[in-house]
Amino acid sequence: MNHKTRTLALSLVLLAGSGAAVAQTNDNSPSPVQVAAQTLALQPGDIEAMRSAIDRPLGFTEIKGSREFRGELIVHARKGKVATAEARVAPLTIRQSRLVPERVIRVPDGMSEGQMAAMLMATGDYEFVEPNWTLFPAIVPNDSQYGSSWQHTRLQSASAWDIETGDSSVIVAICDSGVDLDHPDLQDALVSGYNAASGQTQAAGGDVDDVNGHGTFVAGCAAAQGNNGIGVVGVGWDFTIMPIRVSNNSDGTASAFAILDGARWAAEQGAHIINASFSGGTSASNQSAARYIKQQGGLLFWASGNDNAFVEPNRPDYVLVGSTTSSDNRSSFSNYGPAVDVTAPGSSVRSTRRFGSYGNGSGTSYASPIAAGVGAMIRSANPELSPDDIQAVLYQSVDDLGAAGRDDFFGRGRVNTFNAVQLAQTYVRPTVLPVSSGFEDAGWADLFAASAGSPTLDTMPEAPEGTSVMRLDNDDAITTGALAGRTLYDDAMISFDLRADNLEPGDALLVQYLENPDFAPANSWATLAQIDDRGAVNEGFLRYEIELPSALEWHGVQVRFVAQGSGDDAWLLDDFSIDLVNTGVAPLADSFDTGVLSPVKWFFTTNTTVEYDNGTFAAALGDNAFLRSHEIPLFQFGFVPAYLRFDAWKSAEVASSDTLTVEVFLISGQWSTVATLTGSDLQTSPELIQIDLPIGAWALDDAQVRFTVDSGGVFYLDDVYLGTEQLSTGCSDADLAEPYGELNFFDVSAFLSAFNAGDSSADFNGDGNFDFFDVSSFLTQFNAGCP
């Protein structure tokens, strides 16, 4: 590829981002950006990031009586960004978690929750920002004289109790309005708890007695003691109950943060099953807390809500529970949709009430602890099961209601205690991640199965890993078995080496992913990459790194490779693995030859893809595109100059005033613009751009580059490099010495030295001899000068 070379030498630029001007509104009241500047502890680059987000507030919807604004946000810092993220919001902090990087902040006057959240998310330092909703107990009032616990008939509880009655070592935490500490069916099962509303443990004086009555009813649904001759019985007879009071309000309402703080505390104290019978069950903060709880060995259950409303999205790390009637119909009040995982009895179920009494009630508030009780029974039947395993057994042991398989009204089905304890005793775990295969012997079949055609192992001494590869011809396909879900804070990726032989136009290899079999039936595989006959895969093995669309949270995940070809074409696969994304590799070097963006190299992208243009794969940045690298540890090379280079070109639709802005991160914590390329600067064919980076970008442990596009067309990037090696940009073969890029006496001297030493660099005509013809050829190129 021929390039015209442009060298850009820039010195250190000091930015004063926090002092940048911010406009007022027309009525002279402060703009939201001004309010943020006045109330937050701004970090470098904040003003620019917040300006970009001000016109795109996040769309939070208040539902009266279900979730209501309270003028507060929950902010959760991203991994690796905690110090900056928390320093920024410190002036607005009301409360913070002792266990995770999460805070409650007030929303300042003059700004909405959606505006503040959008501006904070634009900094890139937060995993999520969302309202600290006021949430309501998910209860529907009913007749207190209902006289039977019909739920046990549907659950087949009596048959289950012949196998397992519930173990006292299993702790069920009830995050609610408290629990009646003197109730005869509960008091002997209680252990010390926590008041999350006041942040005080029971041992230190925190009040966990029931302030409303809701929590006592919920506790009885899950764990009222059995075989004691009085009252009712929960799903299990002998569970230990941990009271977590999350509300000090007589109506039982609680903040989202208090519920999640209480749930995390319970997990830290050894709770195996945790129930929250409130509205607001689909938030990102719930998912984040559920991940943490799983890491501590617990599983979170949450009520789906009583609005007869469609709810989404589905969250992988906790169980959202809808309600059913005694005739196995969906309760009329029960929320439905993709978010619902399972259902449980919740219409007119009988349980414990405050002041030692009993009664019945309806709501997903009561369906959720019944499902949680089944989870506790699974743990009792097989204490070796992990939270992921308990969740999988619960899902696989339901009675399927409604449409066959998972549906929006019943989820996977209505829980069944008898089925669950039976399956718990025989459950075989899926293959645990990470997984890998070098395709060296028949052991590959422990991970993959031939799902189409006749895949074979081929001996290949030059294989990247070992001496053999997996060969896929024509319509061959291999598919992994079910893989175990795993809770990850980091992203996960598929990695493999691949080479193609004898491809023809139209031949392709599909890399596909089945995230959750309950949501994606066997014919609904998502294609992560379609690799075809274009690019360097035809020239030798390439290493592919493909980010998975989730962090492998689901049990039952599968991956497959599907060949689509004919004749004697072949795809040669080696060194396959699924594991965490391993970032922090220096230098940054990406040729985009695989046709996909590498999750190892790129941290954040918007409107950026990899496309084939000018005979090569390249990053294609459309309008308002953003491409930012991971942190690159250049410090390992010492305090030496750093360089950035890349090939750049444009599509025909790019206007002369459109811009590609290039920035690098400085030791000062600021971003410095090192190049602004316009449509008039670039051609429709590749041009090499080289930049000597300012001294503030040298030897950093977190060096980064980011590209931003403002264009109606597409800017292309290829062969991006950020490191410490300077590319020789010689004008021709005659440019033998520094300074490269010009021809002078030093090049003549270098040639004469090489000629006299018989060095191959002086063999200009390539005949293996050193004579007049080499001198003549050198002089011809030298006199031609630089292009």
Q: Write out the H or E segment, with its range, that includes residue 116.
A: helix 113-122
Identify whether 365 is a catalytic site residue: yes
Q: What is the DSSP string of 518-570?
A: TTS-TT-PEEEEEEESSSGGGTS-EEEEEE-SS-S-STTBEEEEEEE--TT-E
What pLDDT was estimated at residue 25? 45
Q: For 576-584, what is the mean pLDDT?
A: 84
Q: CB neighbours of 104 closer than 8 A, spacing ≥ 6?
A: 72, 73, 74, 75, 93, 94, 95, 96, 132, 255, 257
Q: For 77-81, what is the mean pLDDT?
A: 87
Instruction: List the single range of 146-150, 410-414, 478-482, 495-499 with lowest mean pLDDT.
Output: 146-150
What pLDDT was estimated at residue 758? 86
pLDDT confidence of 3, banded at 50, 70, 90? Answer: very low
Instruction: List the single range of 60-69, 179-188, 282-291, 509-518 with lowest mean pLDDT.
Output: 509-518
Decide the pairing of beta strands 299-303 and 318-324.
parallel
What pLDDT was estimated at residue 555? 66
Q: For 484-495, what is the mean pLDDT?
A: 68
pLDDT confidence of 46, banded at 50, 70, 90? Answer: confident
Q: For 31-41, what is the mean pLDDT?
A: 85
Q: Calculate Rg over the CA atoms of the chain.
A: 32
CB 589 within 8 A of CB 715: no
Please name the amino acid found at residue 108.
Answer: P
Q: CB neighbours of 613 closer than 8 A, spacing ≥ 6?
A: 620, 649, 651, 716
| Integer Cα distance of 467 and 460 in angstroms | 5
- Nearest Cα neighbor of 51 from 26, 28, 34 is 34
What pLDDT was estimated at residue 520? 57
Q: For 426-444, what is the mean pLDDT?
A: 84
Angstrom distances, CA of residue 750 to CA of 694, 701, 727, 759, 787:
30, 37, 18, 11, 21
What pLDDT was estimated at residue 36? 84
| Integer Cα distance of 189 and 35 in angstroms | 51
What pLDDT was estimated at residue 139? 55
Identify whether 214 is a catalytic site residue: yes
What pLDDT was estimated at residue 442? 84
Q: Average per-residue pLDDT in the chain? A: 88
What pLDDT was estimated at residue 12? 27
What pLDDT was estimated at residue 522? 56
Angstrom distances, CA of residue 502 to CA of 474, 498, 509, 532, 702:
11, 14, 13, 12, 43
| Integer Cα distance of 112 and 109 in angstroms | 8
Quote the percentage of the chain above a pLDDT of 90: 62
| Integer Cα distance of 61 and 337 in angstroms | 18
| Integer Cα distance of 411 and 330 in angstroms | 11
What pLDDT was estimated at residue 29? 67
What pLDDT was estimated at residue 783? 83
Q: For 153-162, what is the mean pLDDT?
A: 89
| Residue from 76, 152, 183, 214 carrying the catalytic annotation | 214
pLDDT confidence of 681, banded at 50, 70, 90? Answer: very high
Q: For 226-243, what is the mean pLDDT?
A: 93
Q: For 601-616, what is the mean pLDDT?
A: 91
| Residue from 149, 304, 348, 365 carrying the catalytic annotation | 365
Of 520 and 601, the structure prediction assigns the larger pLDDT to: 601
Instruction: List the single range of 38-42, 256-260, 496-500 with lowest mean pLDDT.
Output: 38-42
| Integer Cα distance of 284 and 74 in angstroms | 10
Residue 498 has pLDDT above 80, yes or no: yes
Quote the percentage of the chain above a pLDDT of 70: 92
Residue 607 falls in which region: left (phi positive, over 0), alpha (psi -120 to 50) or beta = left
363 three-state secondary structure: coil
At 357-380, the pLDDT tens digits run 999 899 999 999 999 999 999 999
Residue 11 has pLDDT above 50, yes or no: no
At 182-216, the pLDDT tens digits run 999 999 999 999 999 999 999 999 999 999 999 99
Q: How far apart are the first and last CA of the chain?
A: 15
Instruction: List the single range of 26-40, 676-690, 755-769 with lowest mean pLDDT.
Output: 26-40
Q: What is the DSSP string of 314-327?
A: --TTEEEEEEE-TT
pLDDT confidence of 519, banded at 50, 70, 90? Answer: low
At 740-776, the pLDDT tens digits run 778 888 889 888 998 898 887 888 877 778 888 888 8
| Residue from 176, 476, 507, 774 carrying the catalytic annotation | 176
At 308-353, the pLDDT tens digits run 999 998 888 899 999 999 999 999 999 999 999 999 999 999 999 9
**Cβ burial, residue 203 (10 Å; 0-12/13-18/19+):** exposed
Of 88 and 487, the structure prediction assigns the larger pLDDT to: 88
| Integer Cα distance of 742 and 169 in angstroms | 79
